[in-house]
Amino acid sequence: MTLINYKSQVALITGASSGIGAEFARQLHLRGASVVLVARRAKRLERLASELNAVRPNSAEILVADLSRIEEGNESFGINRVVKYIETHRIDILVNNAGFGSFGTFYQLPLTREIDMLGVNVTAPTLLTHAALQQMIPRKSGSIIYVSSVAGIQPLPYMSTYAATKAYDLFHALGLYFELKREGIRVLAVCPGPVETEFSRAANIPDGSRVDVRRDEVTDVVNESLQALEKERSLVFPCFRPKIFRFLCALVPLTVRSWLVGSVLRPGRS
């Protein structure tokens, strides 16, 4: 195990305006890293950057981008804006955290939003990781974190697109871990369970749904994830309940699990 000297590193975090992304920024900054905060919501990014720069001047900057598409408008405010930034700036840690979900019967959901989800959850981390590796591999150092989900190990009826995107993140990260280990690059897949974030509201999960279960704290999720990164692990299920869910998934056949989960998530159930 090689210790990480965060004080000499720059971390770029997507989805840094709230939730897990904002907490990754705070905890990496607390450990001494400089941070680049990426998200669509400029005012939230500015508030977080001001908070961090008040502690250590010139240690946080923002990059406003919409990761649902490669280009946005006449200027590049999409994924390519972040790719170009990575191509011209040193990045030691890439945290692919940005993501969102949807809830409902697939054929009734707005297709444009499902396609946007593919952009944020799949296309963006793929392109950003590829760009970051162009500088990490020659240095023989760097860290890449994919924030997947326990949804990535289990098909989710009524959240089928979301689960499929998180399965991509999980398996892409695990594959890269073994590809890049000899290159000195750390790759970690993080599979949290329900966390105290804006996810449920963004996914339009109805109030009072059984989907809206007890949630883990983002501080615990991020702290355990960074500990796993430092130990050069490939995969972490932070907090207690995701570990139990992973264990149960190993015991129950996939089709049975899908039926059980679908029974819980089914819209309009009594």
Residue-wise pLDDT tens digits, 104-122: 999 999 999 999 999 999 9
3-state secondary structure the chain: CCCCCHHHCEEEEECCCCHHHHHHHHHHHHCCCEEEEEECCHHHHHHHHHHHHHHCCCCEEEEECCCCCCCECCCECCHHHHHHHHHHCCCCEEEECCCCCCCCCHHHCCHHHHHHHHHHHHHHHHHHHHHHHHHHHHHCCEEEEEECCHHHHCCCCCCHHHHHHHHHHHHHHHHHHHHHHHHCEEEEEECCCCECCCHHHHCCCCCCCCCCCCCECHHHHHHHHHHHHHCCCCEECCCHHHHHHHHHHHHCCHHHHHHHHHHHHCCCCC
| Furthest CA-CA distance within the chain | 57
Distance (Å, rounded) from C-alpha 10 to C-alpha 234?
Answer: 21
- Which domains does the chain carry? 6-265 (3.40.50.720)
Angle at 253 between CA 249 and CA 259, to 5 degrees: 90
φ and ψ of 37, to 5 deg: -100, 120
pTM confidence score: 0.89
With a cut of 70, which residues of the chain have pLDDT below it?
1-2, 72-76, 196-214, 240, 242, 245-246, 249, 252, 256, 259, 262, 268-270
Please tell me the predicted confidence (pLDDT) of residue 261.
Answer: 73
Q: Regarding beta strands 93-96 and 142-147, do their DSSP bridges make them parallel or antiparallel, or are they unpaired?
A: parallel
State the catalytic residue, choosing from 6, 85, 162, 168: 162
- Predicted local distance difference test score (pLDDT) of residue 191: 95
Per-residue pLDDT at 244: 72
Distance CA 113, CA 219 (A): 29
pLDDT at 203: 45
Indicate the residue type of 268: G
Q: What pLDDT score was predicted for residue 201?
A: 52
What per-residue confidence (pLDDT) applies to 72? 62
Catalytic site includes residue 162: yes
